[in-house]
């Protein structure tokens, strides 16, 4: 089984904690592991010992280093393949590209288990059981979906319909009549009562051959453009790993289509495995609130919050103290970069709001918070008139590129670990609590020769402090291209 993790979405329905630069898969709801890591572990668990042959991740190219860091923390044994998108195009191109890539690497019988990277499943054993049934049908040329048994008349999901109500224990898999769009409330009540409708979880199981044949029949343009984008991709191959950067020009011609609309609503090879697995897509602040227990006033609170006469609010305060007074039915989400105050019934509309905001300043979205690079991370702590302050963390053994700036001097203070510094013609060690400065025009390099992480506070000083004032003397390390060292 080849696990395909779809991680490219922007998660704008959880704005502002989920943003382009920090999308939903990276959220650590339990503190310890991210939704992305949990997805990886779920795939491994569901496939069983040695059953997961490879993991292919489709994501935005800006998120590559960070995604790689998340997986490496799990010490993965499987080959990792990456398909990097230059821009978001919904699930149809992502899943199509993964099937093409896996067919090429492992043959057309390669069986794919497609998992969105930002869902939560509380009963992993039940899910593993469902995957076993799915694999049987997938081998029999079916597009297998995982249908969640509805627990309420939800209007926010699409549904999968079967011919007759049945008990999952009797029949673990059924042919599906088809996919339906999100229903109105009356229809949703009818669906809930019928026993013939399941929530579409967005997880799938099929062989590359089945998917590509169905796409050729129902979505030939999608298939053709995705083939072109993959054919012109820039590949980096490691010992086991690979990275394909999909061609931006061809990729841009693709329509923004979900796999549901592009294929599932038209195919006649659909099967569904009904599941009762404690699933949530955490698809809104309302869904997020449901994960936090309520107090006696119905408030669900995270972080530093002081409430007076406050009822039925969800407050997520991860920036500063939040105080409320005489309010009710609000969702309040405070982060260092943005604050949301919404009525709790409007949580489905946050997506549109976030997308409108993102369109104002799309560049900004990528460059706030911690930025991941192959040598480690940097975080802009403060910018002011004539100065910019960064915290730079360099991994043990890693090194930034040899570089030079025309308009700024740089000042490095080692607050943890030991640095090796190249500064024009000198080369020396800088220990904890020591500092040095790099005048304008000097060639310099920062390395971590030690076994512990190196933490440096960098103060940039000068008239122009843009990231583009950089001249690199060697290639690779700082260029933003993938490396496998």
- Give the residues lining the site for its own copies (CB under 8 A): 15-16, 306, 308-309, 317, 319-327, 330, 332, 334-343, 345-346, 349-350, 353, 356-357, 381-382, 384-387, 389, 391, 408-409, 411, 413-416, 432-435, 437, 439-440, 455, 457, 459, 461-462
Compute the least distance from the CB of residue 185 to its own copies, in Å. 18
Does a cis peptide bond (omega within 30 degrees of 0) precede residue 16?
yes
Structure-block tokens of residue 131: 């995957």
* Residues 342, 358: Cα–Cα separation, whole Å: 18
Q: How many CA atoms lie within 13 A of 214 on its CB side?
A: 25
Compute the least distance from the CB of residue 40 to its own copies, in Å. 29
Element (H, E) at 139: helix 124-139
Nearer to its own copies, 140 or 345 (CB): 345
| Cα dist from 387 to 125, 186, 281, whole Å | 53, 59, 42
Nearer to its own copies, 53 or 434 (CB): 434
Residue 403: strand pairing partners: 444, 472
The distance in angstroms from the start CA to the end CA of the chain is 27
Nearer to its own copies, 31 or 326 (CB): 326
Nearer to its own copies, 74 or 323 (CB): 323
Q: Looking only at Cα atoms, what is the longest distance across the chain?
A: 79
Nearer to its own copies, 366 or 437 (CB): 437
| Cα dist from 425 to 366, 400, 428, 445, 470, whole Å | 35, 17, 10, 11, 19
Nearer to its own copies, 62 or 410 (CB): 410
Nearer to its own copies, 156 or 337 (CB): 337
Nearer to its own copies, 293 or 326 (CB): 326
| Cα dist from 240 to 7, 53, 80, 306, 485, whole Å | 21, 12, 7, 51, 12
Compute the least distance from the CB of residue 387 to its own copies, in Å. 4
* Residues 270, 133: Cα–Cα separation, whole Å: 14
Compute the least distance from the CB of residue 369 to its own copies, in Å. 13
Nearer to its own copies, 317 or 422 (CB): 317
Compute the least distance from the CB of residue 384 to its own copies, in Å. 7
Nearer to its own copies, 181 or 309 (CB): 309
Phi, psi values for residue 360, rounded to 5°: -65, -40
Compute the least distance from the CB of residue 375 to its own copies, in Å. 20
7 CB-near residues (< 8 Å, 6+ apart): 23, 25, 36, 57, 58, 59, 63, 67, 117, 118
Nearer to its own copies, 187 or 432 (CB): 432
Compute the least distance from the CB of residue 15 to its own copies, in Å. 8
Compute the least distance from the CB of residue 386 to its own copies, in Å. 5
* Residues 426, 443: Cα–Cα separation, whole Å: 10
Residue from 336, 333, 335 nearest 344 by CA: 333
Per DSSP, the three-state class of 102 is helix
- Nearest 5 degrees, angle CA 423-CA 428-CA 434? 95
Q: To which residue do tokens 């704005």 refer?
A: 15
Compute the least distance from the CB of residue 75 to its own copies, in Å. 26
423 CB-near residues (< 8 Å, 6+ apart): 436, 438, 442, 444
Residue from 475, 397, 470, 468 nearest 440 by CA: 470
């Amino acid at each position: 089984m080849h696990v395909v993790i779809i991680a490219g979405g922007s998660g704008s329905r959880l704005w502002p904690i989920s943003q382009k630069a920090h999308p939903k898969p990276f959220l650590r709801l339990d503190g310890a592991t991210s939704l992305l890591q949990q997805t990886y572990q779920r795939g491994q668990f569901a496939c069983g010992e040695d059953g997961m042959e490879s993991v292919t991740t489709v994501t935005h190219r800006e998120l590559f280093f960070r995604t790689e860091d998340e997986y490496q923390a799990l010490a993965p044994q499987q080959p990792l393949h990456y398909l990097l998108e230059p821009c978001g195009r919904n699930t149809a191109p992502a899943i199509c590209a993964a099937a093409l890539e896996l067919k090429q690497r492992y043959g057309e019988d390669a069986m794919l288990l497609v998992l969105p990277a930002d869902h939560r499943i509380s009963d992993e054993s039940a899910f593993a059981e469902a995957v076993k049934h799915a694999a049987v049908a997938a081998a029999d040329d079916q597009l297998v979906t995982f249908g969640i048994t509805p627990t309420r008349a939800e209007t926010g999901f699409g549904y999968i319909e079967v011919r007759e109500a049945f008990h999952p224990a009797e029949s673990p898999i059924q042919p599906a009549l088809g996919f339906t769009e999100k229903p109105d409330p009356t229809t949703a009540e009818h669906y809930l009562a019928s026993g013939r409708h399941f929530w579409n979880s967005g997880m799938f199981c099929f062989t590359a051959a089945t998917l590509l044949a169905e796409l050729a029949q129902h979505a030939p343009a999608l298939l053709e453009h995705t083939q072109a984008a993959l054919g012109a991709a820039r590949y980096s191959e490691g010992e086991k790993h690979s990275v394909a950067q999909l061609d931006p020009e061809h990729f841009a011609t693709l329509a923004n289509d979900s796999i549901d609309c592009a294929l599932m609503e038209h195919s006649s090879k659909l099967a569904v495995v009904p599941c009762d697995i404690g699933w949530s897509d955490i698809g809104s602040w309302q869904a997020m609130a449901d994960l936090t227990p309520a107090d006696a006033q119905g408030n669900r609170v995270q972080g530093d919050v002081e409430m007076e006469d406050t009822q039925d609010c969800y407050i997520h305060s991860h920036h500063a103290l939040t105080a409320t007074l005489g309010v009710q039915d609000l969702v309040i989400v405070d982060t260092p970069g943005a604050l949301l105050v919404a009525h709790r019934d409007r949580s489905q509309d946050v997506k549109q709001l976030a997308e409108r905001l993102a369109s104002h300043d799309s560049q900004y979205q990528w460059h706030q918070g911690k930025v991941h690079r192959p040598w480690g991370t940097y975080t802009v702590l403060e910018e002011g008139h004539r100065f910019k302050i960064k915290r730079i963390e360099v991994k043990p053994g890693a090194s930034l590129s040899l570089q030079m700036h025309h308009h700024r001097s740089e000042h490095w203070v080692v607050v943890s670990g030991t640095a090796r510094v190249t500064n024009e013609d000198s080369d020396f060690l800088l220990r904890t609590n020591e500092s040095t400065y790099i005048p304008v025009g000097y060639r310099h390099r920062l390395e971590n020769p030690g076994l512990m992480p190196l933490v440096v506070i960098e103060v940039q000083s000068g008239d122009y402090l843009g990231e583009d004032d950089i001249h690199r003397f060697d290639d690779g390390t700082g260029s933003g291209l993938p490396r496998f060292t």
